[in-house]
Amino acid sequence: MGSPDASTGQPTAATIDPSAPVPSADPGGGFPTEIDARLLTRIPSTLRASCGPTEATADEQAGALSVVDCQPRGNRLDPTFVRYFLFNDPRLMDGAYEAQLAQARAQDDVANRAGLCFDPPFTGAFGRYDRPNAGSVVCYRDDQGRAVFLWTVDALRIVALAYREDGNHKDLFDWWVDSSRSGPLG
């Protein structure tokens, strides 16, 4: 790891050594904690170096064991931002997904037709999916015009949220459908 952020004393996403396969837990209680390191093992190696401590609010983190924020760069398909949540209890994971789904419904017209996330227009839908791991997905345009994908991997108890500032739903879908790029990895 490189130098920590001067204002927080915590390592930033940019200071995490990209050659390290998975950061080990910081014995001083900084990032990554032991549980953060566990979540990082589920994040594809192409994203891992861009991950750091979350900026999620306490309400957004409710019930999560760990939350990690990532800002991938380097591939035109990469989203602007990805946030991964790790839960111990599947009911808490489902609750987090439902809270985000309610937020999506408040910002866009989303229908219970997950297939709309997989075919043009790649937006305005929610439902169940089964790409290598099964879970729930919602795709929508938020009130800032960003393309958003939110999905769960039920077996891993992980919720992930990704968005593109440019609103390009097709590129976000192409990134998401390649689980080796988007994760979480099982």
Q: DSSP secondary structure string, 16-62?
A: S-TTSSSPPP-TTS-SS-HHHHHHHTTS-HHHHTTEEE----HHHHT
**81 - beta bridge partners?**
163
pLDDT of 132 = 63
Farthest CA pair distance, the chain: 48
157: left (phi over 0), alpha (psi -120 to 50) or beta: left
The confidence score (pLDDT) of residue 133 equals 72
Tokens of 104: 């999506």
Confidence at residue 29, expressed as pLDDT on a 0 to 100 scale: 67
User: Residue with structure tokens 């080796």?
Assistant: 180
The pairing of beta strand 51-53 with beta strand 125-131: unpaired
Residue 138: the pLDDT is 95
Q: What residues pair up with 125 in beta bridges, in sequence order? A: 111, 139
pLDDT at 148: 96
Between β-strands 133-141 and 158-164, what pairing exists: parallel, antiparallel or unpaired? unpaired
The one-letter amino acid code at 128 reads R
Given this model, what pLDDT does residue 9 score?
Answer: 36
Taken in order 38, 156, 149, 93, is the CA torsion positive or negative?
Answer: negative
pTM for the model: 0.83
pLDDT score, position 64: 95
Tell me which residues of the chain have a pLDDT lower than 70. Answer: 1-29, 131-132
In the prediction, which pLDDT does 131 show?
A: 67
Say what the pLDDT of residue 4 is. Answer: 35
